[in-house]
Amino acid sequence: MNVIQKRLVNSYTTLVMAEVMTIEEVPEVRLIGSIEYPIRSEVEIEIARRTIEILG
């Protein structure tokens, strides 16, 4: 994961966890330059990781 993708994932994760956005509003893929990156699946993984971290 490159720096831009990591920042996007962190931003979307924060918005979803703060209930400003729903996971359905997060784009499935995002075009960065000429490459499509899967964003929604990465956000779901990051939410799960943060939730486990909080509960653990």
pTM for the model:
0.87
Mean pLDDT (whole number) for 8-14: 96
Structural domain of residue 29, as residue ranges?
Answer: 3-55
Residues in Cβ contact with 12 at an 8 Å cutoff, skipping those fewer than 6 apart: 21, 26, 39, 43
Q: Torsion angle of alpha carbons 15, 18, 21, 27, nearest 10°? A: 40
Q: Please write the tens of the pLDDT for every residue from 16-32.
A: 999 999 999 999 998 87
Q: Please write the tens of the pLDDT for every residue from 30-43.
A: 887 888 989 999 99
Domain count, the chain: 1
The confidence band for 1, taking pLDDT boundaries of 50, 70 and 90, is confident
| Residue 24, pLDDT score | 96
SS3 of 5-21: HHHHHHHHHHHHHCCCC
